[in-house]
Amino acid sequence: MSYDLYFKPRNGFFSEEHFHAYFGNRPNYKYEGAQAWYGNEDTGVYFVFELQTEQAPEENDDEPIEPFPVALNINYLRPSYFIFEVEPEVTAFVKNFDLLVSDPQVEGMGDGEYNAEKLLSGWNYGNEFGYTSILKDENNRSGVSHLPAAQLQSAWKWNWSRSEVQTRAGESKFVPRIMFMNLGGSTVTAAVWPDGIPVVVTRVDYLCIPRKELAPTRFFRKKEDTTFVEWDKALPILLKHGTQNEDGSISLNYMTPPSDVVKFVQSLPAENRAVAGLSADKVLDREIYERSIA
């Protein structure tokens, strides 16, 4: 199930050269044949623009069909923040080429002028319908992960701006993205804090700490591992050695871990819960999930 939107120029024509020149200069796109795939490694958001090389005729209609040379496809059954990243890309594309649209979706914008608000509402309507259509069958709920929409959107905002934060922080500090994980049967957010190094980090459920240089010693030998610590347990030491930024994130202000950071990291117990990473696109909005199965 997916949202499909079609584009044509108001005047003139749209060529393959236009398609490749435009998407070839925009970040996060790559080509696969006649498709320009958007994929953001930080946020996990993806969608595709496709150049329509052929226009299928309508049945029992001798009138020529006015072609819509480009199509957009966005999957349903996705976290609601997907459309927040899609919309600016679509809006920029439409403005660049002065495009008209054909939107066959229920609650969509119909044929004619593009409307960004209708893109948002149309996809959201279809996305919730997708949740209901698929998740009403109990067999399709196995392994489904979900978190509150506000938490998902907060994680998306951080990940979407992560590269800019990293640029401002420079090479001396690491800015981890927010990951989604299944930790002991629970869906959680996590950020990596390797060996207590200087980072810029925002609130998550857990800090994921790979221990190599600071691996605990067992039987006179260091044994590398990865452990997890709740945010609230780590917060005092983060604030002691860091500055809280306007967005609530914390920037650690040392070059090498101080002795109490070393002690804190080394003192954490080994992780014995089952741990598995979760793809961002598979962690759904809890509120829509709960409405869909009610």
Determine the pLDDT at residue 66.
61
- Structural domain of 111: 2-138
Q: If you compute the radius of gyration of the chain from its CA atoms, what whole number of angstroms results?
A: 23
Assigned domain for 123 exists: yes
Task: Say yes or no: 118 and 221 in one domain.
Answer: no
Strands 186-192 and 206-211: parallel
- Letter for the amino acid at 280? A
Task: Say yes or no: 21 and 122 in one domain.
Answer: yes
Total domains present in the chain? 2
3-state secondary structure of 127: helix
Determine the pLDDT at residue 143.
85
Helix or strand holding residue 267 (H, E): helix 259-267
Taking the model in full, what pTM does it have? 0.91
3-state secondary structure of 249: coil
Determine the pLDDT at residue 54.
58
Task: Say yes or no: 14 and 88 in one domain.
Answer: yes
Mind giving me the DSSP string for 267-294? Answer: HSPPP-S-EEEE-GGGEEEHHHHHHHH-
Q: Which of 138, 155, 177 is the last residue of a domain?
A: 138
Determine the pLDDT at residue 106.
82
Task: Say yes or no: 161 and 271 in one domain.
Answer: yes
Determine the pLDDT at residue 61.
52
Tell me the pLDDT tens digit for each residue of 208-225. Answer: 999 999 998 877 788 899
Task: Say yes or no: 152 and 233 in one domain.
Answer: yes
Determine the pLDDT at residue 64.
44
* Residue numbers of the chain with a pLDDT score lower than 50: 56-57, 63-64
